[in-house]
Chain A
Amino acid sequence: MIEYSLEEKTYTLNLGPQHPSTHGVLRVLLEMEGEFITKAEPVIGYGHRGHEHMAENRNYLQFLPNTARVDYLHALAYNQGYCMAVEKLIGLVVPERGEFIRVITAELNRISSHLLWLGAYLLDLGAFTPILYCFDDRENLLDLLDRITGSRLTYCFFRPGGVPQDLDDEFITGTRAFVKRLRTRFKDYDNLVTKNVIFINRTKDVGVITQEQCVKYGLTGPMVRGSGIPYDIRKSEPYSAYPQFDFVIPIGDKGDILDRYVVRVREMEQSLRIIEQALDKLPNGPIMAEKVPKRLKPAEGEVYQAVETARGEFGCYIVSQGDIKPYRIKLRVPSFGNLSILPELAVDTLVADLVAILGSIDVVVPEIDR
């Protein structure tokens, strides 16, 4: 006997884990009343690969490829965070040219991550042209990075102590040409996307995050900057060669999706500024520290190193007990905290708005699941 009644009841809708716009294997359980969502609960774990358990079974250098696969879109920043943490434990100092090369490649990687976010987000909203433009720009960028790092996506280019391979002249001329070209392309993106009426209607005043929510949920990255808080680890806790460069932190004012989109596009422009300044000031010298031990065996202790990635704050917490394998590594990933605000933002919205909000959080699900 099927029961029915005249009063309104809610039904459960399952979004994922295989869905064209969940950016990986994320499942969201929705309790809906008609077309409106009353409760949303993300279910994660479909990409759990056991990175932290692997850390206890690998030595310090063998764990480096893992850090690239946690968030594969900005892999160089994760390499940087891990290498800096190990360098703090051992007491290595990276030479200046090495730091500059790290900054140039990490900022190029940040641009490629934001370009992919832009293309994929607009594909979720239904526009097919911008992703083709973004991927075209991204391919040019990946050609540059491929020359010196050897890979297109999951880089393991940094080592504790510096970088193993130096830049050559073709890379420098290619990067300068790329920077010039991308600046003209931003005008195309502006005309195609930012002034588009449909895009503005779908993103204005949707998914508003207040500054109090930022503190309570521990959000970081463009989510926080879109709500008006100028928090960027490259400025507030400078590391590597960032103090030598002149760049601003773009912030929004309301905290809706349109603000976060504008923050990310402006961040790409700031990254181009940093790359240009770094190429102008590039010093000569060694790229690797002098006495890097063959077997990395840090002293007993713990360290927490935070770096700013395209999604927020990546924190690498290493506990060492003097062995060649780490005792415990905790990877604090930005998408984990950023996604935990979704249940609160999704109340009383339509499913189409939920997809827009989820895209603007910019999650990479294998990083949440580790």
Chain B
Amino acid sequence: MLIDKIKQALAPLNLEVADGDYAKTGCHLAVAAPPDQIQGVAQAMLDEGCFLASLTAVDLRESFDLVYHFANFSELCRTVVHVPLGKKKGMPTLSAIYPGADWYEREVFDLFGIHFFGHPNLKRLLLPEDADFHPLLKDFGASESND
């Protein structure tokens, strides 16, 4: 079973791995990892043949929570990895392991301001290049006048 193989692959990293409640949350496996271990997790998932479905961040006012979703083409097993991150800290990049993570990390940098170390091209993706705000932060105030 894929879920056991993933648990076995993640065992050497000593992380909190729990079975997710699929009917309520849509994920089979829930992992909590510190920021410096995320590259090990990603390498383990790539070796099992999983692809990175989504990468996003949630602003929890005191800290950030980065959420990585992995899925697999051949067998159904959705894994969610939560990485708590303090404000004004950065994350290592996954673009060397998963080239598709390149744009997701640029989007997170654009909307939240989180830096990714080792990213080849960390520029803004969705907002204009000269914008000076990060819109999805909870303390982003009202916008200025139109135009």
Chain A interface residues (CB < 8 Å from chain B): 44-45, 48, 50, 52-53, 56, 85, 88-89, 214-220, 224, 229, 231, 236-237, 301-306, 313, 315, 317, 319, 327-328, 330, 332, 336-337, 340-341, 344, 369-370
Nearest CB in chain B: distance from A236 CB, A: 5
Does residue B6 face the partner (Cβ distance < 8 Å to A)? no
Contact of A301 among B25, B80, B126 (CB under 8 A): B25
Nearest CB in chain A: distance from B66 CB, A: 11
A203 to B109, CA, bound (A): 37
Do A304 and B51 contact each other (CB < 8 Å), given the known contacts A45-B127, A53-B135, A88-B26? no
Nearest CB in chain A: distance from B23 CB, A: 7
Residues 85-122 of chain B: 1 if any A CB is under 8 Å from the residue's CB, otherwise 0? 00000000000001110111000000100000000000
Does residue B44 face the partner (Cβ distance < 8 Å to A)? no
Contact of A229 among B73, B100, B104, B127 (CB under 8 A): B73
B contact residues around A340 at 8 Å (CB): 99-100, 102-103
Nearest CB in chain A: distance from B10 CB, A: 18
Contact of A215 among B26, B51, B104 (CB under 8 A): B51
Instruction: Decide: B111 and A332 in contact? CB cutoff 8 A.
Output: no
In the complex, besides A218-B51, A306-B26, 7 extra interface pairs with C-beta distance below 8 angstroms are A48-B126, A89-B24, A218-B98, A236-B76, A237-B76, A327-B58, A328-B56
Size of the B side of the interface (Cβ < 8 Å), in residues, is 37
Contact of B56 among A224, A301, A330 (CB under 8 A): A330
Instruction: Decide: B26 and A217 in contact? CB cutoff 8 A.
Output: no
Instruction: Decide: A88 and B58 in contact? CB cutoff 8 A.
Output: no
Main secondary structure of the interface of B (DSSP, over half): mixed
Does residue B9 face the partner (Cβ distance < 8 Å to A)? no
Do A218 and B26 contact each other (CB < 8 Å), given the known contacts A53-B136, A337-B100, A340-B103? no
Nearest CB in chain B: distance from A264 CB, A: 19
A231 to B102, CA, bound (A): 23
B contact residues around A52 at 8 Å (CB): 111, 136
A-B contact count (CB 8 A): 103
A257 to B116, CA, bound (A): 35
Residue of A nearest to B54 (CB): A332
Do A44 and B125 contact each other (CB < 8 Å), given the known contacts A218-B51, A237-B76, A313-B53? yes
Nearest CB in chain A: distance from B82 CB, A: 9
Instruction: Decide: A88 and B102 in contact? CB cutoff 8 A.
Output: no
Contact of B126 among A237, A341, A369 (CB under 8 A): A369
A56 to B136, CA, bound (A): 9
Q: What are 18 A-to-B residue pairs whose CB atoms are below 8 Å?
A: A88-B23, A215-B51, A217-B99, A218-B98, A219-B100, A224-B73, A302-B25, A303-B26, A304-B25, A304-B69, A306-B71, A315-B53, A317-B69, A330-B56, A330-B67, A332-B69, A336-B104, A337-B100
A contact residues around B7 at 8 Å (CB): none
Residue of B nearest to A370 (CB): B126
B contact residues around A48 at 8 Å (CB): 126-127
Nearest CB in chain A: distance from B52 CB, A: 5
Contact of A305 among B26, B46, B67 (CB under 8 A): B26
Instruction: Decide: A317 and B67 in contact? CB cutoff 8 A.
Output: yes
Instruction: Decide: B98 and A216 in contact? CB cutoff 8 A.
Output: yes
Instruction: Decide: B126 and A217 in contact? CB cutoff 8 A.
Output: no
A359 to B84, CA, bound (A): 39
Do A317 and B54 contact each other (CB < 8 Å), given the known contacts A45-B125, A304-B27? yes
